[in-house]
Amino acid sequence: MKKTIALVLVALAAASCTQTEKGAGIGAVSGAIIGGAITGDVRGAAVGAAIGGVSGAVIGNVTEQPGQCYYRDRYGRRYIDDCPR
């Protein structure tokens, strides 16, 4: 019963987040799992969480901007511009 209540509270908290916050959370959790699994230690999980959190926040931020797309130029720089029609 306690687990069910905890899951409901987490779901309600996540429902009130913006797309940027949701993206950062999902990215951080995924990065921590992958980083920990690959390296087998806490330091790898922490690095994975940091990288995943930043990446998820960037992707989530782009989804909050209707009509805007996320691009990368030939030098690897990222930018946001109007989507092609």
Q: pLDDT tens for residues 29-54? A: 888 889 889 998 889 889 998 998 88
pLDDT tier at 15 (50, 70, 90 boundaries)?
Answer: low
67: left (phi over 0), alpha (psi -120 to 50) or beta: left
pLDDT at 60: 80
pLDDT tier at 16 (50, 70, 90 boundaries)?
Answer: low
Range from 3-7, 66-70, 71-75 carrying the lowest mean pLDDT: 3-7
Please say whether the beta carbons of 55 and 26 come within 8 A.
Answer: no
